[in-house]
């Protein structure tokens, strides 16, 4: 039996303009066991905040078994999937819920979901069938910064059907011929949407409500010289809640690279997101991701090609509807062999009464040291 082990632990100092500062210890442990019959993957995540008790947990976030065959694979268990093409936000990424306790602004922070999938290979194309068995409760820290609600929150999820009602999907992935370097996916999705809306439990408390949908998703990227053109689009047919409108989403992106300019590789990202309701007089703005309703994202990444793999990312998200802006800068570099020193600065210039920034303008600064072993 082969065993692989990997772990990261970070100590972070977080400072806020409108909230009390905190220090957190964050990490994960990944184990992989492989024998002649199957592969087992396990990931444990943990977080401990010095100030906000809601931001303290230990979680078995992934635990699944995979059986590999000659032209297909079978996997069952608790997994995290990444569906999407764009850098800023992915409308196609609907399988998992976000981990808002860890970072409400981090799109890669997710909660594992229990399911099964079969992946079949056809030369350069793939066909995947999957089912998700269970809908997870979603935790918010009411005492920590950027709590999105004005009332208390009950984390017990309410659903349009049973919690164990399966969500099923099919993904067809295909490539074009050599004349055009592109990869595309078509996703058919039936079951609970990753979007949920808040509804009153009583005069002082809200809870989340999950509804079921039929969803068609298309995502693609095309490489042309040193540019990558990207697209994510979806149409959602709400099948279990008449108070919600059907909706469409589309996002377009351009990625342009400039290599070895004064020994620095630079990548420019330009993206636009649009959210469209199909019917009037329905509930709107049900989910935090609907901030990306009429938004532009511009970002720049610089890789310095040094021994520390140093890089700097900066970006601006601008909401044309609410005149809201989010500005962020991230920098990191490896120090010694196993340590990464990083820092990020985020400034929010907000319009009043938005689900993301009900506190108005604010600033967050994070300094982190990560040890990998």
DSSP symbol at 281: S
Q: In angstroms, rounded to a whole number, what is the distance separating the alpha carbons of residues 136 and 155?
A: 10
Number of Cβ within a 10 Å radius of residue 254: 13
Angle at 49 between CA 47 and CA 52, to 5 degrees: 125
- Looking only at the bridges linking them, the beta strands covering 264-277 and 247-261 are antiparallel
CATH class of 2-372: mainly beta
Grouping H, G, I as helix, E, B as strand and the rest as coil, residue 309 is coil
* pLDDT per residue rounded down to tens, the chain (373 residues): 799 999 999 999 999 998 899 999 999 999 999 998 899 999 999 999 999 999 999 999 999 999 999 899 999 999 999 999 999 999 999 999 999 999 888 878 899 999 999 999 998 899 999 999 999 999 988 888 888 888 889 999 999 999 999 999 999 999 976 667 899 999 999 999 999 988 888 888 989 999 999 999 999 999 988 899 999 999 999 999 888 999 999 999 999 999 877 889 999 999 999 999 999 888 776 665 566 789 999 999 999 999 999 999 999 999 898 888 999 999 999 998 899 999 999 998 876 554 444 556 889 999 999 999 9
Q: Please say whether the beta carbons of 234 and 92 come within 8 A.
A: yes
Picking from 219, 225, 280, 276, the residue whose alpha carbon sits closest to that of residue 253 is 219
- Looking only at the bridges linking them, the beta strands covering 56-68 and 39-49 are antiparallel
What predicted TM-score, i.e. pTM, was given to this entire model? 0.92
DSSP symbol at 181: E
Q: In angstroms, rounded to a whole number, what is the distance separating the alpha carbons of residues 58 and 137?
A: 15
Number of Cβ within a 10 Å radius of residue 127: 15
> Can you give the C-alpha Rg of the chain in angstroms?
21
């Amino acid at each position: 039996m082969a065993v692989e082990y990997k772990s990261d632990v970070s100590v972070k100092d977080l400072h806020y303009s409108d909230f009390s500062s905190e220090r957190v210890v964050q990490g994960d442990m990944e184990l992989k066991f492989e024998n002649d019959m199957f592969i087992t993957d396990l990931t444990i995540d943990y977080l401990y905040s010095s100030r906000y008790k809601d931001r303290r947990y230990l979680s078995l976030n992934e635990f699944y078994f995979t059986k590999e065959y000659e032209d297909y694979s079978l996997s069952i268990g608790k997994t995290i999937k990444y569906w999407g093409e764009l850098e800023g936000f992915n409308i196609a990424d609907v399988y998992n819920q976000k981990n808002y306790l860890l970072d409400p602004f981090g799109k890669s922070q997710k909660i594992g979901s229990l399911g099964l999938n079969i992946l079949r290979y056809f030369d350069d194309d793939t066909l995947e069938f999957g089912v998700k068995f269970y809908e997870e409760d979603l935790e918010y820290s009411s005492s920590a910064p950027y709590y999105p609600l004005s009332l208390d929150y009950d984390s017990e999820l309410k659903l349009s059907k049973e919690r164990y009602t399966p969500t099923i999907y099919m993904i067809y992935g295909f490539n074009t011929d050599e004349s055009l370097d592109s990869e595309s996916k078509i996703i058919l999705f039936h079951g609970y949407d990753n979007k949920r809306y808040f509804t009153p439990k009583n005069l002082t408390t809200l809870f989340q409500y999950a509804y079921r949908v039929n969803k068609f998703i298309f995502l693609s990227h095309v490489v042309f010289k040193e540019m990558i053109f990207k697209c994510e689009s979806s149409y959602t047919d709400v099948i279990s809640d008449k108070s919600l409108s059907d909706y469409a989403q589309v996002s377009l992106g351009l990625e342009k690279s400039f290599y070895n300019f004064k020994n620095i590789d630079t990548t420019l990202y330009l993206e636009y997101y649009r959210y469209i309701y199909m019917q009037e007089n329905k509930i709107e703005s049900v989910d935090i991701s609907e901030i990306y309703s009429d938004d532009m994202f511009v970002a720049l990444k610089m890789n310095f090609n040094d021994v520390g793999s140093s890089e700097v990312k900066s970006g601006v998200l601008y909401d044309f509807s609410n005149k809201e802006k989010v500005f962020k800068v991230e920098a990191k570099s490896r120090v010694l062999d196993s340590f990464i020193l990083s820092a990020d600065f985020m400034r929010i210039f907000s319009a009043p009464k938005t689900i993301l920034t009900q506190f108005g303008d604010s600033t967050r600064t994070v300094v982190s040291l990560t040890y990998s072993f």
